[in-house]
Amino acid sequence: MASNRERDESLTFTIPSSSSHSSPITVSDQLDSYLADPRSASGSFQNDGLLSAGDAAAADPDFGFYRPDFRQNPLSGSVEFYQRHVFLCYKNPRVWPPRIEAAEFDRLPRLLYAAVVARKSQMKKETRLTICEGHDGTETSNGDVLIFPDMVRYRRLTHFDVETFVEEVLVKDGEWLPGTPEALRGSYIFVCSHGSRDRRCGVCGPVLVSRFREEIELHGLQGKVFVSPCSHIGGSQYAGNVIVFGPSMNGEVTGHWYGYVTPDDVPLLLQHHIVKGEILDSLWRGQMGLSVDEQQKKHEQRLLLNGLRDLEESTQVCRPQDNFVSCQSIGVNCCQSNEVVCCQSNGDPSFRQNHVLVEKRKDPDVIETQAKLSADNKSSETVISRISSGKGASRKFPSMTTWLDWEQEDTYAALAVVCAAVSVAIAYNCYKQLR
């Protein structure tokens, strides 16, 4: 076991850090006093220089939230399959090199990365390694290791302990004897802020961290929600990239990835995902533990259910003059008219991708049904019962052409009702499978 002096020396960077930081993640009793500092009231790390620079650059036309490629690519299914996420708390984004395995990086992250790669084939779980911010003297110190979905933390790993730690914890799925795993509680948010790896993450990430900190304080979520910048997680084109770990409604710990997140989306993520346990499908990239195909299937099922809930709230009848179109992404047919529209993204940052917009109709079209047909060889008149608002009225139509027009209109109405019933049945079946 290394001495305290050896531990401190092993964590020394050649590039000094001039700013003071606070901790991203903690569950100890010291949290309240730590959060009393107004600069870190949200329970997040603090990197004043980085955040102020990021805030000023957020409107960067090439790398910020208004860059040309922002929200131009589909998000669902953009997370490669993995089952476990390991975060090493180490320094801050300003001193992280472009790659963890880089020679200029300190020994601890570099050796841990090498050990994970070397033993990868022997691990029962597909494992990712990411760096998050750490700072000595806070609840999350340099060398602390956070593991999800296990929701545990090991304290003060050094480069002397790397091989043993990987062997016992990541390969054998046991415990690292020199350290005692601490249970993590609450939700943990990691925002890619790895500017040396990709400028887009370096511009967008710090602004999102700052906004998360403000909203956590505003909604009184201190001690329940924790946020930290992290190193590259993949998909820099989707910056801002956010990962949220925490228990779902059934108690299972999940890791959901979001992309193209803007500061305005932060309150929605906190209110819907953290507080209500609802997935924001418009920003959802994928989930830890699911394959790419499974992510896309889950996404389509949720969109189908959400679309049919909207459909049930409105009375939708397609008229002959409406164009019948298909929303293949969710498997729902809808009318393209003034009342009902199936939309696709045009790159507008405010647009919710793959979302079906269904407006309620204040004046539903009259549903016509055939009541009686009188065969009159002389006049060729047709008698039809027209039902509107529960009241019937008998009308005569003097020509076969009018009758054919009515029959076509009635056919469209009937088909719409049948399709709606089938869609509801399919959605209910999907709902039972999701539960």
- Tell me: the pLDDT tens digits for 222-239? 999 999 999 999 999 999
- Summarised one tens digit per residue, pLDDT across range 166-194 is 999 999 999 998 888 999 999 999 999 99
Banded model confidence at residue 417, pLDDT cuts 50, 70, 90: confident
Residue 292 has pLDDT above 70, yes or no: yes
State yes or no: pLDDT of 7 exceeds 50: no
d(CA 428, CA 434): 10
At residue 188, the pLDDT reads: 97
Write out the two tokens for 225. Answer: 């929600």
3-state helix, strand, coil in the chain (%, to 5): 35, 20, 50
Q: Which of 53-62, 100-109, 273-282, 345-354 has the highest mean pLDDT?
A: 273-282
User: How far, rounded to the nearest angstrom, does the alpha carbon of residue 165 sit from its chain's CA centroid?
Assistant: 31
Please write the tens of the pLDDT for every residue from 139-166: 778 999 999 999 999 999 999 999 999 9
For the chain, give every domain's residue range: 82-184, 185-308
Tokens describing residue 296:
């896309």
Topology adopted by domain 185-308: Glutaredoxin (3.40.30)
Can you give the pLDDT at residue 411? 66
Give the span between the Cα atoms of 284 and 301, in whole angstroms: 13
pLDDT of residue 137: 73
Q: Give the range among 212-221, 293-302, 391-400, 419-428 with minimum mean pLDDT.
A: 391-400
**Distance (Å, whole) CA 22 – CA 44:** 7
Residue 20 has pLDDT above 80, yes or no: no
Instruction: Report the alpha-carbon angle 137-134-257, nearest 5.
Output: 145
> Are 82-184 and 185-308 equal in CATH topology?
yes
Confidence of residue 63 (pLDDT cuts 50, 70, 90): very high
Q: What pTM did the predictor assign?
A: 0.64
pLDDT of residue 314: 58
Q: CA-to-CA distance for 295 and 289, rounded, in angstroms? A: 9
Residue with the bigger pLDDT between 198 and 386: it is 198
Is the predicted pLDDT of residue 24 greater than 80, yes or no? Answer: no
For residue 149, is the peptide bond before it cis, meaning its omega torsion is within 30 degrees of 0?
Answer: yes
365-412 pLDDT, tens digit each: 333 333 433 444 444 444 334 334 444 444 443 443 444 444 556 666
Q: What is the mean pLDDT of the chain?
A: 73
Cα separation values, 325 from 187, 336, 353, 381, Å: 41, 6, 18, 35
| Beta partners for residue 384, in sequence order | 395
Instruction: Assess whether pLDDT exceeds 90 at residue 206.
Output: yes
Distances (CA, A) of 174 to 112, 156, 249, 296, 322: 17, 18, 27, 33, 62
Least confident of 8-17, 62-71, 133-142, 276-285: 8-17
* Answer CATH for 82-184 from 3.30.300, 2.30.30, 3.40.30, 1.10.860: 3.40.30
User: pLDDT value at position 421?
Assistant: 77
Lowest mean pLDDT among 21-30, 240-249, 255-264: 21-30
pLDDT at 226: 95
